Chains A and B, each alone.
Chain A
Amino acid sequence: MPRLRFIGRLREILGSELELEASSPITLSQILEKLPQEARRLILAEDGRLRVIVLVNEKPAQGLSQVIKPSDVVRFVPIVSGG
């Protein structure tokens, strides 16, 4: 079951961690489909571009078709600039 971790606005919507019920590998795109619309809108732009940085086991995700294994940790990191 992959673990999803969130910060910022996404954390407010989904909590800081979410364990997905998926015993077999699924794609990142399939994971996003399981999230509520409000969260998806923060993650994906209308043109399909990622609005946030997605890290799979701390490595940048290789696109929405990347297969996520049950043991993976996926972090969703918004782009911020800090002042």
Chain B
Amino acid sequence: MFKGGWTGKILRVDLTREKHAVQDLDGEVARSFMGGRGLAVKILWDELKPGTDPLSPENKLILATGPLTGFALPSSGKLVVASKSPLTGGYGDGNIGTRASYQMKKAGYDAIVVEGRAKEPVVLVVEDSEIKLEKADDLWGKDTYTVQDELEEKHGKEAGILMVGPGAEKLIRFGVVISEKGRAGGRPGIGTVMASKNLKAVVIKGTKEIPAYNREELRELAAEGYKEIKASANYDFWVRQGTMATIEWSQENSVLPSYNFREGWFERADEISGTTMEKVYKVAQKGCPFCNMQCGNICEIKEGPYKGWRVEIDYENIAMLGSNLGIGSMDWAMTLNLYADLQGIDTITLGSVLAFTAELVEKRMLPEDKLGLKLRWGDGEAMLQLAELIAERKGFGEKLGEGVKALSKALGGEWFAMHIKGLEISAYDCHAAPGMALAFATSPIGAHHKDAWFIAWELKIGRDVISKEKVDRLLEMQRIRGGLFEAAVACRLPWIELGFSLEWYPKYLKAATGLDFTLKELYEMADRIYDLIRCFWAREHGGWSREMDYPPERWFKEPLTRGPLAGSKLSKEAYDKLLSWYYEARGWDSRGLPRKSTLRERGLGYVAEQLEAQGMKLEE
């Protein structure tokens, strides 16, 4: 059935029964959902019993590649990790650039689906058709750098390795999946799901040739693509600074989150900028497999308890663990980043939890004696102490490990709890960016930049413009970033950063799979995936209301006080207009639920029927 691209096989592993099976990938599912996020949500919708506890053995951990993964093409060395999220209760996923991506394809699988719970900690070892569970007692509790070294020593440097850290083992709700020392994915607690299954790591090694419809053409197209990327006017600067250039960018545009998103401008931004990184801290370059525009900035910490350690940094981490905590020291921001990576906890959410706690203390809503330490903005040492309490789930850290939403429900301060749908907001302040706020609020996993990066397009349209055109552009962006790239499983950065043409992707897909996809068809697929993800959320939450698609009250209530845009804040009336137009453009009703006619049009009629059978009333 498959002419190439896909291997056509899914490996199913049941940790409770210690059994595995190989399942055929349905050709129609591959055509309609492609892979990565699309395949993951399809499996979760079809197989997960509604209301499943995300940390129960019944939840499924999905590791999924796409039809382009594993070929030597620009930025095709990623995979998606997905599950029902223990942080949000909805659909959760993330992507990671890792050797595990191409090793999975070479082993002969498009995806690995893990369910059940092992009796004791294990490592799942996949070597082509040989599947083993190895004891992991000696690895449990060890940090992710140590585990990477030990597993590489045992299985070889080329092995694809995915793991969880000690923080995820303690079931902190924002544990991520980690690979190759600092490559992280699955912000909505996908690492926590993996740890809840007593699965410390997955090691994958493959020896097969990945099937391709036209290998020669693929090779030629890849060579042309690589050449186009390298010829980009901004190539050298990108390779030098990568995403860290965004610190300066965000500062100049008043979107750099500072003091728990109270401001979008930080007085010490220069000290944590890409230029400072390049001049003082950067010691090496790192990239994903098959990438010729590597953006991994390996930096060495110069001061503090982790002096001499190396850490891979990028914009989101340094903004959330720097300016958002009032920290203008690159050493401390990097130290917090490193600590989160070692523990396998999400850097963005950690930054948000620490900032929210600092603000609770500042507002005298949380006594410091309860916290057990003196917490002040900009105090890296105190922030690290608190991060340790969180990772070890000690003292008040136990509560903080539940995330900002749960914390604000317990302690108050919901109006400045910076999350949407339970997922903490990534590093773009939206006081003066209504379109970006809408993008965060309608992102299918909660407020993550992966699907939601709209800010530059919004600048181009006009920040204060409230129009249907702006909403249409947001949908276009979601179709590309959240649809095409997350389902084909390719990195978005060549396109967005260096202007790599989208027209390459239908060509790559044709050469890899033999199937013709137009960009229009790929965008329709993206809409199908977004609809199904929305239905999954609605099913798990027992309904929907438009308040679920609102950003936090802070952006409406409290204007910026610093920087060139001081005085700016969001208008609720304007936001509501944008949200209504967004629903209309998606074919969703005024509550934010897909209409029956929309679902039928996308080939999801059965989804509508199942929701209605569970008592949810959908509009026609």
Q: Is the C-beta of B51 less than 8 angstroms from some C-beta in chain A?
A: no
| Interface status of A35 (Cβ within 8 A of chain B) | no
> Which of B234, B252, B315, B461 is within 8 Å of A7, CB to CB?
B252
Q: Mark A51-81, 1 if CB is under 8 A from B, else 0.
A: 1010100111000000000000001011111
Known contacts: A45-B499, A51-B233. The answer to whether A80 contacts B245 by CB under 8 A is: yes
Give the chain A neighbours of B249 by CB distance below 8 A: 7-8, 77-78, 80, 82
CA distance A12 to B238 in the complex (A): 13
Who on chain B is nearest to A13 by CB? B237
For B234, give its contact among A5, A9, A53 (CB under 8 Å): A9
Known: A53-B456, A59-B462, A77-B253. A82 touches B237 (CB 8 A): no
Question: Chain B contacts of A82 at CB under 8 A?
Answer: 243, 246, 249-250, 315-316, 426-428, 449, 453
B493 touches A81 (CB 8 A): yes
Q: At the interface, yes or no: A83 with Cβ under 8 Å from chain B?
A: yes
- Neighbouring A residues of B252 by C-beta, 8 Å: 5, 7, 75, 77
What's the minimum C-beta distance from B279 to chain A, rounded to whole angstroms? 12
Name the B residues within 8 Å of A5 (CB-CB).
252
B492 at the interface (CB under 8 A from A): yes
Question: Which residues of chain B come closer than 8 Å to A80, judged between CB atoms?
Answer: 243, 245-246, 249, 456, 496-497
The reply to whether B459 and A60 contact each other, CB–CB distance below 8 Å, is yes
Nearest neighbor of A45 in chain B, beta-carbon distance: B499
Name the residue of chain A whose CB is nearest to the CB of B251. Answer: A7
Chain A hits for B315, CB < 8 A: 82-83
**Residue of B at shortest CB range from A40?**
B233
Alpha-carbon gap, A60 to B435, bound state (A): 15
Cross-chain contact B460 with A60 (CB below 8 angstroms): yes
In the complex with contacts A78-B249, A80-B456, A82-B250, A60-B233 CB distance below 8 A: no
How far in angstroms is the closest Cβ of chain B from A83?
A: 4
A81 to B314, CA, bound (A): 11
* Most chain B CB neighbours (cut-off 10 Å) among A9, A51, A81: A81
The yes or no answer to B589 lying at the interface (CB within 8 A) is no
In the complex, B248 has a CB within 8 A of chain A: yes
Q: How large is the interface on B (under 10, 10 to 19, 20 to 34, 35 or more residues)?
A: 20 to 34
Q: Report if A53-B460 is in contact (Cβ < 8 Å); known contacts: A9-B234, A82-B428.
A: yes
Which residues of A lie under 8 Å from residue B463 when comparing CB positions? 58
A55 with B234, Cβ < 8 A, contacts A80-B243, A81-B497, A83-B315 known: no
When distances are taken between beta carbons in the complex, the residues of chain B under 8 Å from A53 are 456, 459-460
Say if the beta carbon of A20 comes within 8 Å of chain B: no
CA distance A7 to B234 in the complex (A): 13
Residues of A within 8 A of B314 (CB): 83
List residues of chain A with CB within 8 A of the CB of B237: 8-9, 12
Beyond A8-B237, A8-B245, A42-B233, whether A81 also contacts B459 by CB under 8 A is no
Q: Please indicate the chain A residues that have their CB under 8 angstroms from the CB of B236 in the complex.
A: 9
Mark contacts of B226-265 with chain A using CB atoms, 8 A cut-off: 1 yes-contact digit, 0 otherwise.
Answer: 0000000110110000010110111011000000000000
For A42, what are the chain B residues with a Cβ–Cβ distance below 8 Å? 233-234
Mask for A31-49, Cβ within 8 A of B = 1, else 0? Answer: 0000000000110010000
Q: Which residues of B contact A45 (CB under 8 A)?
A: 499
Q: Which residue of B lies closest to A39 (CB)?
A: B233
Q: What separation, in Å, do the CA atoms of A60 and B253 have in the docked complex? A: 13
Chain B residues closer than 8 Å to A12, beta-carbon distance: 237
Question: With the chains together, A79 CA to B499 CA distance in Å?
Answer: 9
A77/B427 in contact, CB under 8 A: no
Encode contact with A along B479-498: 1 for CB under 8 Å, 0 otherwise: 00000000000001100110
CB nearest to B244 among chain A residues: A83
Closest to A43 in B: B233
**Assembly CA distance A70 to B67 (angstroms):** 54
What CA separation (Å) do A9 and B496 show in the bound complex? Answer: 16
Binary A-proximity of B49-86 (CB < 8 A = 1, otherwise 0)? 00000000000000000000000000000000000000
Complex alpha-carbon distance, A41 and B499, angstroms: 13
In B186-239, the 8 Å CB interface with A consists of: 233-234, 236-237
Q: Which residues of chain A have C-beta atoms less than 8 A from B453's C-beta?
A: 81-82
A77/B461 contact (C-beta < 8 A), A8-B245, A82-B250, A82-B427 known? no
> Min CB distance, A35 to chain B, in Å?
13
Q: Check A83–B253 contact: CB distance below 8 A.
A: no
CA of A41 to CA of B246, assembled, Å = 21
Given contacts A60-B461, A77-B456, A83-B243, contact A8 B248 (CB under 8 A): yes
Minimal Cβ-Cβ distance residue in A for B245: A8
Query: Which residue of B has the minimal Cβ distance to A81?
Result: B496
Contacts A9-B237, A53-B456, A81-B456 given; 16 further ones with Cβ under 8 A? A8-B249, A41-B233, A42-B233, A51-B233, A77-B456, A77-B459, A78-B249, A80-B246, A80-B497, A81-B243, A81-B492, A81-B497, A82-B315, A82-B316, A82-B449, A83-B246
Binding site for B on A (CB under 8 A): 5, 7-9, 11-12, 41-42, 45, 51, 53, 55, 58-60, 75, 77-83
Interface pairs (8), CB distance under 8 Å? A8-B245, A8-B248, A51-B233, A55-B459, A77-B459, A80-B456, A81-B493, A82-B449
